[in-house]
């Protein structure tokens, strides 16, 4: 009897699995009518939550997607960061770790979610250079987001490679992708309609036939410059009748939706945490739900700008606002994946307007504390300098094939040896040394790029300028943003010549190879190292409040930047980057030459 029951159970499981597989691979038609999105010919309302696979540990992709579904969403929107998949020209990675975008999309489908694909090529997203590959900045006169032939050649290559990954996942091929975006908020940048139409044509030629949409601010000039004939109109944001009427005036023959509805906002260094009013959010979502509009939460879950992936803003030639490492965004799902009070408010609100059953909220991810870890000096940046590159005047790091980290410029002072030193332009934070001693710092923001050099006893004083890149500008008109010194250095008006340049990318491989070489010659720019033992792993937040400014690596993984100006003081470290037993932590601090302790907390503040 037990054997018969077992056989029946196995047959039932087999039939059920076959049914699920068949349903998952069923082909669908998603189309646009004059006023509605249509799924297999029937009106379909998109309630989407946006998240970015590059900002989420791969082990948590499914959890975050389940969280979005449990808040009431039926769709996941995802930016694809071009420079994350082609960091070196012509070399693409769509398979390793977080780069496997096809797997992310498949998980969305397995969890019963549709997908809105946001492939750029430009995406903004507070991501380094808006997702564009910085190797393009090696071209001195490059123009982006237009029909510059060199830019378009790179775009064509990217579209070709990405299309091969996502084409099988279109809903018409049995996958979950229902919409593809063309560019992003182009009406806030330019008006090259030829460029937008060529992008549309490129996707079509590579087997991505649409339907498409664009996304722009709900103003006439932005919609005029940023939309494409036949594409749905996304509004960033659409939260009133007035906004949607603007879309209808632009094109009355396609549907519109709120393509970025903001439950939170971005935060820069030196600001307070951005935490918008929740009552306003509730009012906006209530309007969208009552009026039957489709919408996308930007973002439902932000994640983390690990490593050097954070971008920056600038709205005049001397402004520079770098983004913090956390991309929590005050989103409904926190940086480490927990449901916030905002999440439960939205979940309750959405449940009152949808007919489908909203599943239970997944259990939170385990978090741990790490007792204080003592760090000791390991070496300094001055002891690991690579072979220098000679140049008449300073050049930015992109001209040498480096796109992040630090760059050191060195010369001897001849002629003028004291007075006013001016750096034109310092991108983004410079430390100035005379004969190995820190004299002053220069911050790009504000345009105050001059310092006073003191008198030196040396016949020809040694001038060192260590420059940190803090993320390429990702929005608006000042995006041609190279790092390091972009033009020249003068002393009392005299242009300084004959430089030696040292490339310091601070890659994970570079830091992993550091050897002890301390304490002789204590200077700013010190690497500190420590170890800690764990009986169990879990997510944690490394508190850096006892340090000044720099980068943290745990077991070889770059957690990102820290800076004591705040508001962020703790860096997120996912459980997958920890291990039971002994763990290593390395800290590079540009401005602190005394060791301090670090500690792990369960919460970000």
d(CA 598, CA 509): 23
HEC sequence for 91-131: ECCCCCHHHCHHHHHHHHHHCCCEEEEECCCCCCCCEHHHH
Structure tokens at 338: 């927990």
Cα 180 to chain centroid, rounded? 20
The string of DSSP letters for 154-207 reads HHHHHHHHHHHHHGGGBGGGTSSEEEEE-SSSGGGT---HHHHHHHHHHHHHTT
Structural element, H or E, at residue 243 = helix 241-250
Strands 232-235 vs 212-216: parallel, antiparallel or unpaired: parallel
d(CA 272, CA 586): 28
The CA-atom distances, in angstroms, between 203 and each of 138, 211, 240, 438, 498 are: 27, 11, 32, 52, 48
Helices (H), 453-496: none
User: Which of 399, 320, 505 is closest to 142 using CA atoms?
Assistant: 399
Contacts of residue 122, defined as CB under 8 A and 6 or more positions apart, other chains included, come to 130, 131, 132, 144, 145, 183, 184, 186
Strands 389-391 vs 499-504: parallel, antiparallel or unpaired: antiparallel
Work out the number of other CB atoms within 10 angstroms of the CB of residue 300.
26
What are all long-range contacts of 106-112, with beta carbons under 8 Å and residues at least 24 apart?
A: 106/169, 106/175, 107/61, 107/62, 107/65, 108/65, 108/76, 108/176, 109/24, 109/169, 109/175, 109/176, 110/24, 110/62, 111/62, 111/65, 111/66, 111/69, 112/69
126 given a catalytic annotation: no
Per-residue b or e along 370-395, where b marks 16 or more CB atoms closer than 10 Å to that residue's CB: beebebebbbbbbbbeeeeeeeeebb
d(CA 42, CA 33): 10
Candidates 260, 398, 425, 468; catalytic one: 260
Burial bucket for residue 78 (CB in 10 Å: 0-12, 13-18, 19+)? buried
425 given a catalytic annotation: no
Candidates 183, 185, 335, 468; catalytic one: 185
User: Which of 141, 48, 128 is closest to 83 using CA atoms?
Assistant: 128
Beta bridge partners of 80: none
User: Is the distance from CB of 583 to CB of 554 less than 8 angstroms?
Assistant: yes
User: Could you give the angle at the alpha carbon of 135 between the alpha carbons of 132 and 136, nearest 5°?
Assistant: 70
Give catalytic residues, as residue numbers.
Answer: 185, 260
């Amino acid at each position: 009897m037990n054997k018969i029951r077992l056989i029946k159970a196995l047959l039932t499981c087999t039939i059920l699995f076959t049914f699920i597989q068949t349903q998952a691979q069923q082909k669908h038609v998603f189309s646009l009518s004059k006023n509605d999105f249509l799924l297999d010919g029937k009106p379909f309302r998109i309630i989407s939550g946006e998240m970015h696979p590059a900002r989420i540990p791969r082990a948590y992709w499914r959890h975050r997607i389940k969280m979005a579904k449990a808040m009431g969403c039926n769709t996941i929107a995802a930016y694809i960061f071009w420079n994350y998949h082609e960091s070196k020209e012509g070399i693409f990675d769509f398979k390793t770790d977080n780069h496997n975008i096809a797997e992310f999309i498949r998980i969305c489908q397995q969890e019963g979610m549709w997908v809105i694909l946001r492939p750029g090529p430009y995406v903004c997203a507070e991501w380094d250079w808006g997702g564009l590959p910085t190797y393009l900045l090696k071209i001195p006169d490059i123009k982006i987001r237009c029909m510059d032939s060199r830019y378009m050649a790179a775009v064509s290559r990217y579209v070709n490679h990405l299309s091969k990954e996502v084409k099988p996942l279109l809903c018409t091929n049995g996958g979950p992708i229902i919409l593809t975006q063309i560019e992003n908020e182009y009406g806030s940048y330019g008006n090259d309609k030829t460029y937008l139409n060529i992008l549309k044509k490129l996707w079509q030629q590579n087997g991505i036939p649409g339907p498409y949409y664009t996304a722009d601010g709900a103003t006439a000039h932005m919609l005029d410059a940023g939309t494409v004939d036949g594409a749905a109109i996304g509004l960033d944001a659409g939260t009133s009748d007035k906004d949607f009427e603007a879309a209808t005036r632009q094109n009355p023959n396609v549907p519109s939706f709120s393509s970025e509805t903001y439950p939170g906002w971005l935060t820069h260094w030196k600001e307070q945490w951005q935490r918008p009013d929740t009552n306003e959010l509730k009012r906006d979502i209530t309007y969208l739900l009552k009026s039957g509009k489709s919408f996308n939460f930007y973002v439902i879950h932000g994640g983390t700008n690990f490593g050097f992936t954070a971008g920056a803003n600038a709205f005049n030639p001397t402004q520079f606002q770098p983004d913090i490492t956390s991309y929590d965004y005050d989103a409904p799902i926190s940086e480490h994946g927990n449901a916030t009070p905002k999440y439960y408010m939205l979940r309750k609100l959405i449940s009152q307007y949808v007919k489908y059953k909203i599943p239970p909220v997944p259990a939170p991810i385990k978090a741990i504390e790490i007792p204080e870890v003592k760090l000791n000096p390991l070496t300094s940046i001055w002891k690991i300098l690579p072979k220098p590159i000679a140049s008449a005047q300073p050049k930015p790091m992109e001209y040498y094939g480096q796109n992040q980290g630090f760059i050191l410029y060195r010369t001897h002072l001849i002629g003028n040896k004291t007075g006013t030193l001016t750096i034109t332009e310092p991108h983004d934070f410079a430390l100035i040394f005379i004969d190995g001693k820190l004299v002053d710092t220069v911050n790009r923001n504000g345009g105050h790029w001059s310092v006073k050099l003191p008198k030196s006893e040396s016949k020809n004083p040694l001038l060192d300028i260590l420059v940190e890149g803090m993320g390429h500008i990702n929005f608006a008109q000042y995006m041609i943003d190279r790092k390091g010194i972009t033009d020249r250095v003068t002393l009392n008006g005299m242009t300084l010549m004959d430089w030696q340049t040292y490339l310091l990318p601070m890659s994970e491989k570079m830091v992993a190879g550091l050897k002890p070489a301390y304490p002789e010659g204590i200077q700013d720019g010190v690497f500190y190292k420590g170890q800690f033992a764990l009986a169990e792993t879990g997510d944690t937040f490394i508190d850096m409040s006892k340090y000044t400014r720099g980068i943290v690596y745990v077991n070889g993984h770059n957690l990102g930047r820290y800076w004591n100006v705040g508001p962020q003081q703790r860096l997120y470290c996912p459980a997958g980057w920890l291990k039971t037993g002994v763990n290593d932590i390395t800290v590079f601090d540009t401005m602190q030459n005394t060791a301090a302790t670090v500690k792990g907390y369960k919460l970000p503040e």
